Amino acid sequence: MKIIVLMKQVANKDAVLRVGNDEKWIDESDIAHQTNESDGYALEEALRMKEAKGEGEVVVCTLGGQSAKTVIKDALARGADRGIHIIVENDQKLSPHQIAKTIADAIRDENADLIFTGLQSDDASYGQTGVILAELLGIPHATIVIDIDRESLNGNLRVKRELESGWYQWFVYQLPALLTIQSGISQIRYASLKGIMAAKRKEIKEVTPTIEDFGAAQQIQKVYMPLKTKQTQMLGDGDVKRGAAELVEKLKTEIRVI
Amino acid sequence: MILVFIEHKDCVLNKTSLEAITAAQGIGKDLGLKISAVIPCDKDCALAQEISNYDLEKVIMAKNEKLGIYTPDGYTDAWEQVIKATNPTYVIMAHTYQVRDFAPKLAARFGKEVVGDCIRYRNEDGKLVFTRRIFLGKLDADVIIEGDAPYFVTFQSGAFRGDNAEKGGSANIETMDVEVGEIRMKPEAPFQEAKASIDLTKSAIIVAVGRGIKSQENIEKAQELADALGADLAASRPICDAEWLPIDRQIGSSGQTVAPKVYIALGISGAIQHIVGMKNAGTIIAINKDAEAPIFDIADYGIVGDIFDAMPVLVEEIKKAKS
């Protein structure tokens, strides 16, 4: 069983973001990066599938600039078998369809049994790369997958999708299929020292794609700090304890819940 | 024309579809376009009559026996034919989990993509500019779509008010028999996990914790604050994913949607998925060490700083105030 996991490098969750000079993206200089959260869960699920099956290959694939190689190296250290790096600098300029098309061209010949992605990226948050990719590859998909029945590994795959407001639904798929994985599907493992050492010998294939124009692309005209919808009263003026005391006063006299 | 998607389960309306109608009506007025609603169903949908009371030109019932239970393959096939038959300029949908599942596939079939999860739009000389929230709510992006119609747009839950959808007139209900090809996935019946043991929708005061709480042991400190206030304890998704609190305490798009009198967010940055679950609270109080955290954009009161410095003082002062 071959599973391809698509993973993306994004700005660190705690990074302080500044709007870039062209006002079309953030200023990427000096920004710390991390692997997109739900992609990490996608990798974990793929590794667990391979372990449950007792055979197979987990291939991690990322599209991004040279710095994104960290994502692949980290995945290899956790247990992925090899990597494919589709090298595109300034990938934030690509629309979701362009990203999906570029990935489709790079992985089509792998003929994977399963493709996993996180359910959306924490930067552009398009949430559609996986679904478009499935359509381009002509395979069925499921989004927001929160559980996979590993008992079903040898037949048709049973996957649990999250619906809204606490509802869930199982679907049965024939392979190949593409699944977008929800955060929290399982606890993510750490890379072991052995894994880190082993990763150094694993293959990372580099692909330099030709990006095709896409006439129907959505284009970011401008990014900016969100407009405030509310007047926020800031309390304490930097002194948390004073702020807390002031807040209790407000809870008593203005909000009246004490 | 504009097509707007009516989502339902067993002919029971998903109320966010009314928000989509409101959005479509606004865009329709701006651009001088008529609006039709589309209901995929396996029978003469009981919803059609209700939807026809809204100010729409038509209600199109896309009918096929395979559309009784949602599948991405079935819905995409059905929609593809409705779009080919009607040539819409815009296809407007609410950004629900179901729409996220099939809309990108549908758009891809037309060589398009979705401008997804928009929070508003504006009309610039007949060209629409959509605003999406990116970087987990930290930034907004104004987005335009290039190329020819159809344009696929989804709006975030709460971006428009469903009760602002205009009624009046009686739209014609039109049945369109659609062909649906092979469905490659077999759906089982949807279900709810073990009933929530706590109904946070009834809470008057909620103290909610996010990543800033750092460890399971620290939950107790937030619980003390909740106890002092007579509040219920809740959490953002990462806390429940880590199983530091049970999932029935989760607030947000995948958890409960609440509107208590007071909502205190401790160490919650305010990702969209959380905010949609609590933004209608009467008074929102946020304590976070990051002054730029998006939670402050919707807070009535904010304290910038370490929640571990704030919590003991709050507990002590509340006890004093109550005694």
Which of the four pLDDT bands, split at 50, 70 and 90, describes residue B15? very high
Closest alpha carbon to A76 in A198, A188, A187, A194: A198
Looking at residue A228, its pLDDT comes to 75
Which of the four pLDDT bands, split at 50, 70 and 90, describes residue B13? very high
Number of domains comprising chain B: 2
Judged against a pLDDT cut of 70, whether residue B134 lies above it is answered with yes
**Which of B113, B146, B177 represents a domain boundary (last residue)?**
B177
- Mean pLDDT for the stretch of residues B242-263: 91
Q: Quick one: residue A247, left, alpha or beta (phi over 0 = left, psi -120 to 50 = alpha)?
A: alpha
Domain membership flag for residue A156: yes
Distance from the B119 Cα atom to the nearest Cα atom in chain A, whole angstroms: 11
Q: Given CB atoms, is B12 within the 8 Å cutoff of chain A? A: no
Q: Given CB atoms, is B85 within the 8 Å cutoff of chain A? A: no
SS3 A242: helix
- Are B292 and A217 in contact (CB < 8 Å)? no
Low-confidence ranges of chain A (pLDDT < 50): none
Q: Quick check: B235 and B262 in contact, CB under 8 A?
A: no
- Residue in chain B nearest A188 by alpha carbon: B242
- Residue in chain A nearest B250 by alpha carbon: A166
**Same domain flag for B40 and B168:** yes
Distance from the A60 Cα atom to the nearest Cα atom in chain B, whole angstroms: 23
Range of the domain at A239: 229-258
Looking at residue B196, its pLDDT comes to 60
- Are A257 and B205 in contact (CB < 8 Å)? yes
The Cα–Cα gap between A101 and A137 comes to 9
Q: Which residues of B touch A19 (CB under 8 A)?
A: 139
Domain membership flag for residue B191: no
Q: Quick check: A143 and A37 in contact, CB under 8 A?
A: no
* CATH code of the domain covering residue B77: 3.40.50.620
- Are B297 and A136 in contact (CB < 8 Å)? no
**Same domain flag for B227 and B258:** yes
- Are B184 and A224 in contact (CB < 8 Å)? no
Q: Which residues of A touch B132 (CB under 8 A)?
A: 125
**Same domain flag for A22 and A100:** yes
The Cα–Cα gap between B266 and B210 comes to 6
Domain membership flag for residue B189: no
How many other CB atoms are found less than 10 A from the CB of residue B244? Answer: 18
Minimal Cβ distance to A123: which of B134, B190, B262: B134
- Are B190 and A167 in contact (CB < 8 Å)? yes
**Which of B177, B192, B212 represents a domain boundary (last residue)?**
B177
Looking at residue A3, its pLDDT comes to 98
Q: Given CB atoms, is B147 within the 8 Å cutoff of chain A? A: yes
Number of domains comprising chain A: 2
List pLDDT tens digits, range A78-120. Answer: 999 999 999 999 999 999 999 999 999 999 999 999 999 999 9
Helix (H) or strand (E) holding A244: helix A240-253
Judged against a pLDDT cut of 90, whether residue B31 lies above it is answered with yes
Mutation pick from B102, B106, B118, B138 vs chain A, by most beta carbons of A within 10 Å, is B138
Range of the domain at B108: 2-177
Mutation pick from B77, B100, B134, B251 vs chain A, by most beta carbons of A within 10 Å, is B134
* Spacing of C-alpha B93 from chain mean position: 11
Mutation pick from B113, B140, B145 vs chain A, by most beta carbons of A within 10 Å, is B113
* CATH code of the domain covering residue B215: 3.40.50.1220
Looking at residue A226, its pLDDT comes to 87
Judged against a pLDDT cut of 90, whether residue B197 lies above it is answered with no
Residues 194-233, chain B, touching A (beta carbon < 8 A): 196, 204-205, 229
Distance from the B212 Cα atom to the nearest Cα atom in chain A, whole angstroms: 11
The Cα–Cα gap between B82 and B64 comes to 12
**Same domain flag for B13 and B118:** yes
Which of the four pLDDT bands, split at 50, 70 and 90, describes residue B195? low
Minimal Cβ distance to B301: which of A218, A225, A232: A232
Q: Quick one: residue B308, left, alpha or beta (phi over 0 = left, psi -120 to 50 = alpha)?
A: alpha
- Please report, rounded to a whole number, the percentage of residues in chain B having pLDDT higher than 90: 88
- Beta-bridged to residue B152, according to DSSP, are B91, B114
Looking at residue A14, its pLDDT comes to 85
List pLDDT tens digits, range B43-78. Answer: 999 999 999 999 999 999 999 999 999 999 999 999
Burial code (b: 16+ CB inside 10 Å, e: under 16) for B120-149 equals bbeeeeeebbbbbbbbbbbbbbbbbbeeeb
Looking at residue B272, its pLDDT comes to 86
Domain membership flag for residue A217: no
**Same domain flag for B165 and B260:** no
- Mean pLDDT for the stretch of residues B76-104: 98
Domain membership flag for residue A65: yes
- Are A232 and B299 in contact (CB < 8 Å)? yes
Judged against a pLDDT cut of 70, whether residue B267 lies above it is answered with yes
- Are B241 and A240 in contact (CB < 8 Å)? no
